[in-house]
Structure 1
Amino acid sequence: MASRVVLVEADGGSRGNPGPAGYGAVVRDPETGEVLAERSESIGVTTNNVAEYRGLIAGLEAAAELGATEVDARMDSKLVVEQMSGRWQIKNAGLRPLAAQAAQLVDRFAAVRFSWIPRERNRHADALANAAMDAAAGAPAGPVVDPPRIVEPPRTVAADEPAARDRAREVADRAAAKRAAGADATTAPASWEPRPSLTATRLLLVRHGETEFTEQGRYSGRGDVALSARGREQVAATARRVAALVPGAVAVVSSPLSRCTATAGAIADALGGRPVRLDDDLIECDFGAWEGRTFAEVRDGWPGELDAWLASTAVAPPQGESFVEVAERARRAVAALCEAYPRETVVVVSHVSPIKLMLRDALAADDAFLHRLYLDAAGISVVDLWPDGGVAVRSVNDTAHLDGIA
């Protein structure tokens, strides 16, 4: 039998985790990029991880139906890729049957290679999954395959468009309404009853120490700006503080940018030499054309785009990334941490935007929260997350350890 290689791109998600969920999968010819098959389905109320596994299973089934002998499976779910590659344990009992089903499908091929790709390179499967989630949240459930709904990147608004701010606010209102619609399905029962912290996954959210850009008020996104001298002092103090707060932390997970890895490395050393694991989902927002510029420079050069960006989390800076996209990464990172470290304490070193978005979600706040919360460099916030969806924010922007640093 002649060898036939196909590319499978798969995704899944839920509006809330758990919440109305769906998946999408695309099978392509790896040489031409031609779409050979699509799968998309609403699957009721469940978690992101379940939906991601269902997307993978659907993609593998479609590849088998096409007579493929080898598969390159690509997903933006690091959890599924690492577990199917055998590098991470499957600690969540609810995922094991799905992983076993996927493994049985893998056995039908001569070879299956799993690789992680960033979300922007998985747009087709992501679009199908989002259409299925929309259906699960209210429209009639069922496959969404004809035609595929392709989501374009958020369009930046030109400075000379007078209706830019109004349109941006409309987008923000729709996003807020969608979150509110799913809130009842994702909120744990209200209760004043104390919860045992030992059954929660505790995240210590640490913003990196200062850089020269921080001190100068410049947009600092994907640029790899090193810690300043003051930032290194802050990091040393933060490491001591974290070691005192959580000497039993099991892991340190960091954005791959050096201002975070330097912060994480100092904390890991203070915890007795723990390894630092990198997670691309924790990276800062991509500020595109605004990178390295001061706030005043951006106001002068892009007044309309800036107003639109400030009015809506769905609007991106020119050539950049919207906060809606950053929030999806942040939620994915939190879900992966809860899956990988149940009932454990994890130190998470990231940037101001992902941490703000994690705290917004933890507090069930709206987007106005992002403009009202200030996070200092090297500040610490603590969040507990329980398996039933319960959340407790224990502290926000603790900077007592920075007293005395000039």
Structure 2
Amino acid sequence: MTKTTRWWWIRHAPVINPSGHIYGQLDVEADISDGRPYAGLGPRLPRDAIWVTTPLQRTRRTAEALMRDGGHDEPPIVEPDLMEQNFGDWQNRPHAEIYQALGARHPFWLSPAETRPPNGESFVDLAERVAAVVERLSRDHAGRDIVAVTHGGTIRAALAQALALEPERALAFVIDHVSLTRLDLIGAEGDAPAWRVGGVNLPAHLVV
């Protein structure tokens, strides 16, 4: 018997960060004043889904907006290990200051995948903790829809897991705010589960 567990990954709303500082796991506020993405995406999400957020308010507020516009009332599961990469001592500092300290700017991310900021974690670390949560929730809710409102780095980590990518390669994915990435875990008795990619970085108004 084949079971398909469908992951609906959504990045949180844009953050309010006029100074342009690195926020990582800081609990910064999200701007959900533009209701169009939530009105467009919320009703298209599965009605009987398991909802997951992180403890950070930008994911919780985004999920609340999507659930309101989609008529969903399932209380979200809060998963701390799906939070964004912890940039440690770099958090709340200007990007330019960190680029200068590193001596180079990464083309797609703050730093190379294996670089661990002081008192923080690398993207490789992030990918490992995200993979563990995905495996656990996929096992606990096999055959269900899981709507996970999380972070850009988290979704890149989920793509690395699904496509068996080296973490550095996963940093090339663009994940916009309030975009949808669809990943299906297909498992059959006696066979190793396989991931299928339904879409990456889909804008809210194009989701069908």
TM-score (norm 2): 0.84
Which of 351, 369, 385 is residue 185 of structure 2 equivalent to?
A: 385
In structure 1, distance between residues paired with 2:176 and 2:38: 15
| Correspondence list, 1:68-147, <5 A | none
In structure 1, distance between residues paired with 2:19 and 2:205: 23
Indicate the SS of the match to 1:353: helix
Q: Which residue of 1 aligns with 2:16?
A: 212
Structure 2: segments with no counterpart, 5+ residues: none
Instruction: Please list the CA deviations of residues 294-344 of structure 1 after superposition, one character each: whole Å capped at 9, or x if unmatched.
Output: 3212122x225977x834x23211221111211111011111211121111
Q: Which residue of 2 aligns with 1:225?
A: 28
1:204, CA displacement in angstroms? 0.5
In structure 1, distance between residues paired with 2:52 and 2:21: 25
The answer to whether the Cα contact below 8 Å between 1:246 and 1:345 also exists between their aligned partners in 2 is no
The answer to whether the Cα contact below 8 Å between 1:282 and 1:333 also exists between their aligned partners in 2 is yes
1:217, CA displacement in angstroms? 4.4
In structure 2, distance between residues paired with 1:260 and 1:400: 16
Using CA pairs under 8 Å that are at least 6 residues apart, name the structure with larger relative contact order, 1 or 2.
Answer: 2
Q: Which residue of 2 aligns with 1:50?
A: none
Residue 324 to residue 401, structure 1, CA distance change in 2 (3 Å):
same
| Correspondence list, 1:144-293, <5 A | 199-213=3-17, 217-228=20-31, 231-233=32-34, 236-269=35-68, 270-293=70-93
| Correspondence list, 1:341-352, <5 A | 341-352=141-152
Residue 306 to residue 203, structure 1, CA distance change in 2 (3 Å):
same
Q: Which residue of 2 aligns with 1:150?
A: none
Residue 365 to residue 316, structure 1, CA distance change in 2 (3 Å):
same
The answer to whether the Cα contact below 8 Å between 1:253 and 1:346 also exists between their aligned partners in 2 is yes
In structure 2, distance between residues paired with 1:218 and 1:399: 26
The answer to whether the Cα contact below 8 Å between 1:210 and 1:227 also exists between their aligned partners in 2 is yes
| Correspondence list, 1:24-39, <5 A | none
1:232, CA displacement in angstroms? 3.5
Structure 1: segments with no counterpart, 5+ residues: 1-195
Letter in 1 for 2:81: D
Letter in 1 for 2:5: T
Q: Which residue of 2 aligns with 1:395?
A: 199
Q: Which residue of 2 aligns with 1:310?
A: 111
In structure 1, distance between residues paired with 2:126 and 2:167: 13
In structure 2, distance between residues paired with 1:371 and 1:217: 20
In structure 2, distance between residues paired with 1:258 and 1:306: 29
The answer to whether the Cα contact below 8 Å between 1:247 and 1:271 also exists between their aligned partners in 2 is no
Letter in 2 for 1:316: R
Between the two proteins, what is the percent identity of the paired residues? 28
Q: From the two aligned structures, give the one with the greater helix fraction.
A: 1
The answer to whether the Cα contact below 8 Å between 2:41 and 2:205 also exists between their aligned partners in 1 is no
Letter in 2 for 1:227: A
Instruction: Please list the CA deviations of residues 4-56 of structure 1 after superposition, one character each: whole Å capped at 9, or x if unmatched.
Output: xxxxxxxxxxxxxxxxxxxxxxxxxxxxxxxxxxxxxxxxxxxxxxxxxxxxx
Letter in 1 for 2:83: I
Residue 252 to residue 271, structure 1, CA distance change in 2 (3 Å):
farther
Letter in 1 for 2:202: D
In structure 1, distance between residues paired with 2:37 and 2:3: 26
| Correspondence list, 1:353-364, <5 A | 353-364=153-164
How many residues align? The count is: 198
Residue 241 to residue 329, structure 1, CA distance change in 2 (3 Å):
farther
Instruction: Please list the CA deviations of residues 97-119 of structure 1 after superposition, one character each: whole Å capped at 9, or x if unmatched.
Output: xxxxxxxxxxxxxxxxxxxxxxx
In structure 1, distance between residues paired with 2:16 and 2:111: 24
Instruction: Please list the CA deviations of residues 249-291 of structure 1 after superposition, one character each: whole Å capped at 9, or x if unmatched.
Output: 4211001100001111222332432211101111111111211
Letter in 2 for 1:348: A
Indicate the SS of the match to 2:9: strand
Q: Which residue of 2 aligns with 1:330?
A: 130
Letter in 2 for 1:225: V
In structure 2, distance between residues paired with 1:254 and 1:400: 18
